[in-house]
Structures are given as structure tokens and as C-alpha cells.
Amino acid sequence: MKKLLFLSFLIITGFKPDQDKIQVFLIGDSTLANKAPGDAPETGWGMVFQEFFTDKIKVENHAQNGRSTKSFINEGRWAKVTKNLKSGDWVLIQFGHNDSKDKDTSRYAAANTDYKKNLIRFINETRAKGGNPVLITPVMRRRFDEKGTFFDTHGNYPAAVKAVAKEQKVPMIDLHALSQEVIVQHGLEGSKALFMHVEAGHYPKFPKGLVDDTHFTVYGAKIMAGLVAKSVHELDLDLKKHLKHFGDTDKFVYDLPVVQQPSFRKDTFNVISYGAKNDGLVLNSAAINKAIEACAEKGGGTVLIPEGFWLSGPITLKSNINLHLAKGALLQFSDNYKDYPLVKTNWEGLDAIRCQSPVSATDAVNIAITGGGIIDGAGQAWRSVKKEKLTDSQWQKLVASGGVLDQAQRIWYPSEGSKLGNTTPGAGNIAAGYTMETVTKFQEYLRPNMIRFSNCKKILLEGVTFQNSPAWNLHPMLCDHITLKNLTVRNPWYAQNGDGVDLESCRFALIDNCTFDVGDDGICIKSGRDEEGRKRGVPTENVIVQNSTVFHGHGGFVIGSEMSGGVKNLFINNCNFLGTDVGLRFKTARGRGGVVENIFISNINMTNIPGEAILFDMYYMAKDPVPKAGEKNELPVMKAEPVNAGTPQFQNFNIRNIVCKRAETAIMVRGLPEMSIKNITIENAVLQSNKGFVCIEGENINLKNVSFFTKDKTVMQIQNSTNVTMDKISYADDRDLLLKVIGDRSKGIRLLNTDDKKAKKNIEFSGNASSKALTRN
């Protein structure tokens, strides 16, 4: 009824919901114009420009294919814009590609005469209506000479735009220069992804493919639109206040990495046609791999696994293959370790020999696993299990199923070989001297990661359920442009090394709307381990994680501990962690080296966290983050060591809008005496926990508008840390102590705008800490 009344009001009053919005009119040519659905993947940058603004802005794209300043006016298109233009609106003007066509009298406008006159007309008539004109230089075409050197084709037109902008005192965005920088940065081959370099058979409009170095793909359009949006901010236009932020971080949408998406030929190769049988008895790896080979030989397409039960050994994906699991399809991997050959690969950041992964790809481009089916890795055949992680009845049932126990009767192994490998230091590591021949005695121990991609580009995993992995579930390493979307990833909670996803030394990734319920870290970022990782020297960078949930795991969102190649430029927003041992978990140790920096996190909800809601820890010791019954997580002895290549660094974290109900510790920062954790900001948080804020060896740590509801009578503890600011701190009533400052190296502590009357004692100094270390108001 309320909706009907509201609609009646709109009809009667003539009110339109968009009429109070600021309009941004785009006028120009095909490089920013709207395209029909059948034109895919061609995309004008104006089509995606709205994504960079809040809903206070309405982008009206009037750009049209093939138009110049002259034809845009003569065809009445400009008149349509001015008719709808109102005071306060904006007009962004980008022409030049078609004005230069001197053999077409309907479009030609000489750069220094008619072209300038038309630009001035756009400016004057926009201002006459109270609007705000912005000039944009022509966007670059992709042009490289035979030596691979970029060259320009626009003649005098960019200079003419600049001259008019200066003369008329109009803001100008130099997209000509900015787009050249992007094209050159991508390089001769990489820049093809920006433009319409379309493979044959991928899109209905281009059955024979297309090479077009003028018009953009979706990826190129988003890059160009982002350059324009960023320029709006840098020019300090009033329009900038409506630019959209990523979540509640200080970063804008234009700051985000853009991830390329794969595309595939429309041909489908059904595995049944290659001998696959869905009886749960026949091992289908040969048939599935045969279908993949046939598909690859034809230029790629979809390899279809239909509804049914499909038993298989290892599968190897190739370039341009989409492995599609229909809804109702179960791809069940074999529980016989002999089906998995030994291969040289990587394990926990080190070069190693392991069994071949159930699904793998190396040096592939344009690959995907999609659909509504399930992939099961038969992890129960590979994993050891600790007694304390099961009930008595579960333990008895497991022991009765076979396998062997350790001497203390506390750990179950599926076989003697598994036990031998688990009790052999460095088993399988190549640096430790192991070879293909010397690891066969404990092959059962060398459990693989379930999905393993190495040196691949343009990866899509969408819609599939991945579960019961032998080790990690999803492991892209040294891969670029990875999309994980609408996935369900599951493992038993006791599955050691049963991580959800581990991005290792990867660039440009998106994890969106995924659900994880696993036995180790949920969403984990890595980049190699110790000296081997530093020698590789490839960071994980430019990653977006959003709209995802972790139900169980050692950590919800995790960086480390293998981060020796560095981690930077991560963007995390709108995630939920329910029952993870730690919520936001950043871990490393001496010997790792590497720099983790520029991490932006907002809008995180957590509940029932047995450990820390937010943890920065440089003393990771490869132990479960929550001690078992009767155990304690004793703090290590804090003795300084010399700084060297193995000294890790955490710096530049911005965390905002956090809610946690029930945790052991709200915030823990634990750096090294020789390398403090630096430049951490946590703002707008409500944290209910047993312990509050503990900061050891931190520097430039800032808490603002943080509420602690603790059981511990001491709310905050600072030890040997410098420049720690606590501004607008709220806490539960009846605390014995608000703040404890420890150590003679604690300096520059600031307690600001905090009502400290609730605590029986406000500040306590110990361990030679000086009262001069604290400033308060």
C-alpha cells in the first residue's frame, strides 16, 4: 500500500526520482559511446563511468559512434543536450578522432579553426545554462612501429584542445597523455587487452575475430574511465565530492585494480563423447583429459562435465579451456594416491616434490572452472588427524577404519608412508636434497593442493563448490588476472593445511561473493618463503576481496606467514568472519623478510572469535592460533637481533568500521625489537572481548573512535612502542585500569578525547616506563 501511495504521489506531482541528481553529460565519439549488447566486448569508457560516482550523480552518455564536433552539432545531438542541461550540471567534451577525416566533409573540422570554434561553442552554451564544461583531449590509439616504439596519430588536435582550455579558462583532462602512459606501460603485447583484439569464435559479431586498435574492451574502457575519474579529483573539480569510495576506506573506486576476464569459443566438448562414464567406478581422467586436448586443438571452448558422478584422477587444463560442471555434477577425485604422479612443484613457499594436483595448469592463458557442480578432492585419504580435534566416538571410528597411530596414540595417519613423511623434517623439499626417487617411500605424505595454477593469466573460477581438498583448496601461484566469484569452498574444521584460497605471488585478483568453511586459513595472501621467496621476489599485489564470508578457519582474512616476496595494494570490504580462530590475521617471523604494505580494509563483521579479532604478529611459530586445553601461548623472549634481509616488515594498514562480538583479544600488535610494526590506523570499531588492546613494539599506531567492551580489568596495554595515539576511546564501566605503559622505549603515547572517569585508575607505568611518555587531554 505504501508503494502504491508513493507511486501515486509521483504521478500527481510529476516528480522524477532523478531530477534532483547532478547530471554529467558526456559528448564525443565512439571511444566513449554506448554500444549495443551485440557489439560485445566493445565498450565505450562512458558506459562504465557511472561506476566511479555515488548515486548523487547521473551520467548521461550522448557520445555517438563516428561523430566529430561538426556532425554532433549538425545532427542536432548537441541541441538535445542543451535542452536537458540545467544549472550545476557538467558537460565532459572529448572529440578529435573523426574531426581529422579531411575526405569526409560532413565530419571534417580543421584542428586550429573549425574544431576550436566548435569546442568554444560547447563551452559557451554550457556556461549559458549554468553548466560546467570540461575539455578532454582525444584518447590514444594503440600504435607501435616495427621496432616496438609507440607513436601518436592525432596531429594538432590535442594541442588545439589545450589551447582552447587555456584561452577559455576551462578545466582540461589530458587523456591523450594519460592513455599513452597506460598503453606504453602495458607494452606491445599487453596493451592488446585494452583494445578490440578478439579471437575468432568468441563473440557472435566477430566469428572470424577482429584486430581494432581504436576501440576498447571492457578492461580498456574501465582503465580509461578510471583515468578520467582520477583527473576529476586531481583537478579539484567540485564534482570530486561525489566520487565513490571503495567501501569506507579513503581509497576511491578509480584506485582499484582492474581485473581482466577470460572469454571462450562457443564450442562445447562433452566428456561423454570421449568415453567418460558417470558410474562412480570408471576412472575418467583419461577421457576428461582427452576432451580437453581435443578442445584445445580446435582453439578452445567449453569442456562439459554433465550431471552425474564422475570419478577421476588428475586433470590438466590448457589455454582457452572452460571446464564447466553442470548443476548436479560431482567430479570426485580418486582416493588412491597411486593415481597421482610425483611432480616438481611448490609447497608452502618452497620448491618441493609433491603428488600432482587433481586439477592443474601451467603457463596457460584464458582458463576457467565454472558451473553449479561440486569438485571433491578425497582429502580424507591424505590427511593426518589429531585426536583432540575429534570426539571420542569420532576418533574410535577413524582408528577402526585403518591407518596407523603415532607412538603417543594422539595422531592418526592414513598409512605408514604418511606417518613417515609427517615425521621426517623437510620431507619432499628440493633444497633439503630430496629427489623423485628418494621421496617414493613416503609418497602418501606428499598430498597435493587441489587446484593448482602456475604462471597462468586470465583465470575465472565461478559458481563451483570446491571441497575436501588433500591440502590447500585453491592455489594460484605467479598468476595474473584471477577472478573467484560465487564460490563455496569447504573442508572439515580439523583439516590441517586445508586453506580455502592461497594467492601466492599473484597480481590483479578479485575475490567476490565467496563462502569459505575450512580447516586452516580462509582467504590467504602469500608470496614465497624465506630466502627462496626473496629470491623469487614477486609480491602479491593489486587484490580486491569483497562481499565474502568465512565460517571457520584459523583466520578469516590472512596475510602470511609466507610473504617473503612482499604484499601490497590490497583492498578488503564487506566481509564476515564467524567462528574463525582469528579475524584479520597478519603473521610473519624472523627469516621471512619481505614488506607488507598499503592494505585497506573496511566493513568487517566478526562473531565468536576464539583468538584475536585483529592480529599483527611477527612471532608466528606454525602453531594453531588458539591453544588447546591445558596449553598456553607463551610470549617469546623479546631480544633484539640485527636487521638483515630476513627481517620482515608490516606497514601502512588502514582498517575502518569493524564490529566484533566475542573474541579473546580485540587488537594485538606484536612487532620485533629490531623492526616495529608501523603506520597502523584502526578507526570506528566496536570490539567485545576478554582482553582489549595490546601493543608491543609498535610505531605510529592510531586508534580512533574505538570502543572496547572487555572482561579484563585493564583496557589497553602499550609496551616498548612509540607514537601510539588513542583518540575517542570508549570502554566498559568499572575497569580497574584504563592504560598500562610498559618499558623504557615507550614514547610519544597520546590519550586524547577519552572519558577516563570510568576507570578506578587511569594510567600505570611499569618496566622503567616514564610518565613523560604520555600526553593526554
> Each residue of 705-741: pLDDT tens digit?
999 999 999 999 999 999 999 999 999 888 889 999 9
Give, in order, the Cα–Cα distances in Å from 684 to each of 222, 261, 651, 733: 31, 35, 20, 19
Instruction: With a cut of 70, say whether residue 540 has pLDDT above it.
Output: yes
B/e letters for 211-236, b = 16+ CB within 10 Å, e = fewer, are eebbbbbbbbbbbbbbbbbbbbbeee
SS3 label, residue 81: helix
pLDDT digits (tens, 9 = 90+) for 335-355: 999 999 999 999 988 999 999
Average confidence score pLDDT of the chain: 94
User: Which amino acid is present at 483?
Assistant: T
Q: Is 37 left (phi over 0), alpha (psi -120 to 50) or beta?
A: alpha
d(CA 347, CA 475): 10
Buried b (16+ CB within 10 A) or exposed e, 297-317: eeebbbbbbbebebbbbbbbb
On the question of pLDDT at 636 being above 80, the answer is no
Give residue 637's pLDDT.
Answer: 65
What is the pLDDT averaged over residues 570-595? 97
* pLDDT (tens digit per residue) in 258-291: 999 999 999 999 999 999 999 999 999 999 999 9
With a cut of 80, say whether residue 635 has pLDDT above it.
no
Q: Report the helix count and the strand count for the chain, using DSSP H and E.
A: 11, 47
Residue 644 has pLDDT above 70, yes or no: yes
User: Percent of the chain beyond pLDDT 70?
Assistant: 95
Does 395 have pLDDT greater than 70? yes
**Strand-by-strand arrangement of the 385-386 sheet:** 385-386, 411-413, 404-405
What local confidence, expressed as pLDDT, does residue 752 receive?
Answer: 95
Q: What is the pLDDT of residues 110-160, one digit of tens each?
A: 999 999 999 999 999 999 999 999 999 999 999 999 999 999 999 999 999
pLDDT tens by residue, 480-535: 999 999 999 999 999 989 999 999 999 999 999 999 999 999 999 999 999 999 99
State the pLDDT confidence band at 99, using cuts at 50, 70 and 90: very high
The predicted pLDDT at position 495 comes to 93
Residue 661 exposed, middle or buried by CB count within 10 Å (0-12, 13-18, 19+): middle
123, 66, 125, 121: which is closest to 99 by C-alpha? Answer: 66
Q: What pLDDT, on a 0 to 100 scale, did the predictor assign at position 639?
A: 84
Distances (CA, A) of 768 to 64, 340, 726, 743, 772: 73, 60, 21, 5, 11
Give the whole-number percent of the chain exceeding pLDDT 90: 92
620 pLDDT tier (thresholds 50, 70, 90): confident
The number of C-alpha atoms within 13 Å of 219 and in the hemisphere containing its C-beta is 22
Predicted local distance difference test score (pLDDT) of residue 760: 79
640 pLDDT more than 60: yes
Mind listing the pLDDT tens digit for each residue in 293-317? 999 999 999 999 999 999 999 999 9
Would you say residue 164 has pLDDT above 90? yes
- State CA 252 to chain mean position distance: 15
pLDDT digits (tens, 9 = 90+) for 744-770: 999 999 999 997 777 878 899 999 999
Pairing relation of β-strands 268-270 and 210-216? Answer: unpaired
Q: Is 745 exposed, middle or buried (0-12, 13-18, 19+ CB in 10 A)?
A: middle
**What residues pair up with 730 in beta bridges, in sequence order?**
707
The total number of residues written for the chain in this structure: 777
Per-residue pLDDT at 560: 95
pLDDT of residue 748: 97
pLDDT value at 13 more than 70: no
Residue 20 confidence (pLDDT) above 60: yes
Query: Strand 57-61's sheet: what is its strand order?
Result: 57-61, 22-28, 90-94, 132-136, 172-173
622 has pLDDT over 60: no
pLDDT recorded at residue 403: 94
Q: Which residues are known to be catalytic?
A: 30, 199, 215
pLDDT at 12 over 70: no
631 falls in which pLDDT band (50, 70, 90)?
Answer: low
What's the pLDDT tens digit per position in 32-73? 999 999 999 999 999 999 999 999 999 999 999 999 999 999
Other Cβ atoms closer than 10 A to 276: 23
Checking if the pLDDT of 703 tops 70, the result is: yes
Rounded-to-integer distance, Cα 210 and Cα 198, Å? 5
Give the pLDDT confidence of 444-458 residue by residue, as tens digits. Answer: 999 999 999 999 999
pLDDT confidence of residue 633: 56
Rounded to the nearest 5 degrees, what angle is found at the Cα of 664, between the Cα atoms of 658 and 666? 30
Q: Residue 387 above 80 pLDDT?
A: yes
Question: 451: how many CB neighbours lie within 10 A of its CB?
Answer: 27
Give the pLDDT mean for 362-378: 98
Distance CA 648, CA 563 (A): 9
pLDDT value of residue 295 = 98
What pLDDT does residue 761 have?
Answer: 84
Judge if pTM exceeds 0.85. yes
pLDDT at 250: 96
The answer to whether the beta carbons of residues 595 and 623 sit under 8 Å apart is no
Predicted local confidence at residue 382, as pLDDT: 96
pLDDT at 360: 98
pLDDT of residue 81: 98
- Asked if 727 contacts 747 with a C-beta cutoff of 8 angstroms, the reply is no
Given a cut of 90, whether residue 102 has pLDDT beyond it is yes
| Residue 630 in this model has a pLDDT that exceeds 60 | no
Mean pLDDT score, 220-245:
98
Kindly indicate the confidence band of residue 18, based on its pLDDT and cuts at 50, 70 and 90.
low
Whether 232 shows a pLDDT value over 80: the answer reads yes
Alpha carbon distance 500, 466 (integer Å): 9
How confident is the model at residue 626, as a pLDDT? Answer: 64
Contact 291, 269 (CB under 8 A): yes
pLDDT tens per residue across span 544-555: 999 999 999 999
